[in-house]
Amino acid sequence: MGAWTEAAEVLGADLHLELTGPGSRRAVLIRALREAVRSGRLEPGARLPPYRSLAADLGLARNTVADAYAELVAEGWLTSRQGSGTRVAARAVATEPGTAGTASTGGTAETAGAAGAAGTAGAAGTSGRVVVASVPYDLVQGKPDPAAFPRTAWLAAARRALTAAPHEAFGIGDPRGRVELRRALAEYLARVRGVRTSADRIVVCSGTAHALRLLARTVTGPWAVEEYGLPFHRGLLAEAGVRTVPVAVDENGADVGALPFLPGAVDAVLLTPAHQFPTGGPLLPDRRAAVLDWARETGGLVVEDDYDGEFRYDRRPVGALQGLAPERTVLLGSVSKSLSPMLRIGWMVLPGTLVDAVVAAKGEREPYSSATDQLTLADFVASGGYDRHVRRMRRHHRGRRDRLVAVLAERVPEVRVTGLAAGLHAVVELPRGTQRAAVEAAARHGVAVEGLAGYRHPDAADDVRRADGLVVGYATPPERLYGAALDALCAALGEVLSG
């Protein structure tokens, strides 16, 4: 219900709520807020978004949200004080994830570095992926604009974090990661992504690739994976001796109903349910329920790559699967899309039964993520700076996406653009047999871009229904070059389609 609006993006913090069930909108909202407090997703003292911001986010009338807040204040769930906003009452008691008091219901898709960057000369192979030398226009997916990094706000957070840091923070440290960051992430992920966890179930790592390496040592497979995904990630699993089995993908996400019928039992399934990478479809509710039923019935593990869950444009973000089954799901996340891959900070939200095994696989010392960067990120999240940055970038990326769609519709109306609801890329569908020519034409016009076929699992069955396509990233080029990049892309596509 509702949509993201520009007004919502400049007010307050994000708060993920599931508005379902019978009753008026006011009653449903009250029930959802009570459950968020009761389950511990909103901890005592947590500040709620201003009612105008939450109303805009959820597509509700302002009076509806204001009345819901007022009733919960009257009931003692919330407190409200002039100048300090609306907060969860101090008496509210949260239950631990997985206990009887908790409700029960029944990328980052990171690039492989040089594999997606423009820097080394090469020709397109059968995959339709090409890397060219010194191209002026980088439309490879998955890379935020480096100029968008919030330097001033990050520096302020670093100063506060280092001033407040205890002396022991500059020692060897906890292999799980700084507790300040794990606490901040537990609160943030609960509020924004519907995650149910606590700091002791979060392990900080250097990104999704690092997380997969650690999980592959712990859950040895085989794993089911979506038939379209990052070859880099499949390669990491293969290096660890984990065999991967492809699961078909369509406009509704992965066909998880096929899991019981795959050749040989699988121990885990790696999914991108919020925004399938790279085709773009979300995992629909019946399939979300089905994969969690599979995990409960078989003892399998769902590995959820939440690579761009915060960047949803046309409706409210889809909540994480983890919130529905914390003991059967591992949530992977990082700041490589939202802030910068330079920071090398990611996280795993783990079932309680896996924490010790993952920490053992990681080792006693943390050689990847700087403790000072972890402390800074913790402050940046806790102070609201991360929320403000994400909202600003959400608005920016949505504008980039809309511009790409409008230019292609005007100049190359023969193509269809899909995967638009979220993320930093779109898929430009092409007639079958034209993908390699399109990638090569783009390179001649100075555009680095990748073909969809390069993301396909080598063992996937051929699907004659799926068109060829280009995976077009719209986040990386600086603003002064973005228009020229789109002009060059249109010229290349026009050249191929007219031939």
pLDDT at residue 447 in the model? 94
Q: Quick count: other Cβ atoms within 10 Å of Cβ 342?
A: 11
pLDDT of 95 > 50? The answer is: no
pLDDT of 175 > 70? The answer is: yes
Mean pLDDT of 177-206: 94
pLDDT of 8 > 50? The answer is: no
Q: What pTM did the predictor assign?
A: 0.79
Secondary structure of residue 191 in the 3-state scheme: helix
pLDDT at residue 319 in the model? 82
Pick from 365, 284, 363, 374: nearest CA to 334: 374
How far is Cα 168 from Cα 375, in angstroms, rounded to an integer? 12
How far is Cα 323 from Cα 98, in angstroms, rounded to an integer? 10
Cβ(369)–Cβ(204) under 8 Å? Answer: yes
* pLDDT tens by residue, 338-359: 999 999 999 999 999 999 999 9
Pick from 382, 386, 380, 368: nearest CA to 203: 368
Pick from 55, 128, 70: nearest CA to 435: 128
Which residues lie across from 249 on neighbouring strands? 254
Compare 315 and 397 and report the one with higher pLDDT: 397
Mean pLDDT of 196-215: 94
Confidence label for 13 from pLDDT (cuts 50, 70 and 90): low
Pick from 335, 290, 324: nearest CA to 148: 335
Cβ(194)–Cβ(310) under 8 Å? Answer: no
CA distances (Å), 65 to each of 5, 139, 194, in order?
16, 41, 19
CA angle 387, 201, 193 (to 5 degrees): 35
How far is Cα 171 from Cα 177, in angstroms, rounded to an integer? 12
* pLDDT tens by residue, 405-461: 999 999 999 999 998 888 899 999 999 899 999 999 999 999 999 999 999 999 888
How far is Cα 454 from Cα 445, in angstroms, rounded to an integer? 20
Which residues lie across from 86 on neighbouring strands? 80
CA distances (Å), 308 to each of 26, 264, 496, in order?
30, 31, 31
pLDDT at residue 134 in the model? 53
Confidence label for 71 from pLDDT (cuts 50, 70 and 90): confident
Q: How far is CA 41 from the centre of its chain?
A: 19
Mean pLDDT of 349-371: 87
Mean pLDDT of 199-215: 94
pLDDT of 151 > 80? The answer is: yes
Compare 91 and 36 and report the one with higher pLDDT: 36
Which residues lie across from 85 on neighbouring strands? 81
Pick from 455, 457, 484, 489: nearest CA to 472: 489
Confidence label for 316 from pLDDT (cuts 50, 70 and 90): low
Mean pLDDT of 294-300: 94
Mean pLDDT of 168-182: 91
Residue bearing tokens 């949505």 = 398
Q: What is the DSSP string of 440-499?
A: HHHHHTTEE-EEGGGGB-TTPPP-TTSPEEEEEE-SSS-HHHHHHHHHHHHHHHHHHHH-
Choose from 3-17, 32-46, 81-95, 394-408 the range with maximum mean pLDDT: 394-408
The contacts of residue 134 (CB under 8 Å, 6+ apart) are 118
Cβ(282)–Cβ(425) under 8 Å? Answer: no
pLDDT of 212 > 90? The answer is: yes
CATH 3.40.640.10 fits 152-382, yes or no: yes
Beta-strand ranges (E) seen in 92-188 are: 137-138
pLDDT at residue 242 in the model? 94
pLDDT at residue 244 in the model? 94
Average the pLDDT over each of 201-215, 331-345, 450-464 and give the range with the smallest value: 450-464
pLDDT at residue 3 in the model? 37
pLDDT at residue 284 in the model? 87
Confidence label for 308 from pLDDT (cuts 50, 70 and 90): confident
CA distances (Å), 285 to each of 107, 109, 249, 273, 291, in order?
20, 22, 15, 10, 10
Cβ(490)–Cβ(405) under 8 Å? Answer: no
The structure tokens listed for 350 are 């783990």
pLDDT of 117 > 60? The answer is: no
Mean pLDDT of 84-110: 51
Average per-residue pLDDT for the chain: 84
pLDDT at residue 367 in the model? 59
* pLDDT tens by residue, 238-286: 999 999 999 999 888 899 999 988 877 899 999 999 889 999 888 888 8
Burial status of residue 434 (CB atoms within 10 A of its CB: 0-12, 13-18, 19 or more): buried
How far is Cα 320 from Cα 245, in angstroms, rounded to an integer? 23
Confidence label for 383 from pLDDT (cuts 50, 70 and 90): very high
pLDDT at residue 182 in the model? 97
Average the pLDDT over each of 63-77, 207-221, 348-362 and give the range with the smallest value: 63-77
Q: Quick count: other Cβ atoms within 10 Å of Cβ 381?
A: 21
pLDDT at residue 366 in the model? 58
pLDDT at residue 5 in the model? 36
Pick from 193, 425, 472, 423: nearest CA to 313: 423
pLDDT at residue 475 in the model? 93
Q: Domains of the chain: which residue ranges? A: 6-88, 113-149+387-498, 152-382
pLDDT at residue 4 in the model? 35
pLDDT at residue 460 in the model? 87
> What is the CATH architecture assignment of 6-88?
Orthogonal Bundle (1.10)
pLDDT at residue 263 in the model? 78
CA angle 80, 84, 90 (to 5 degrees): 55
pLDDT at residue 214 in the model? 94
CATH of domain 113-149+387-498: 3.90.1150.10
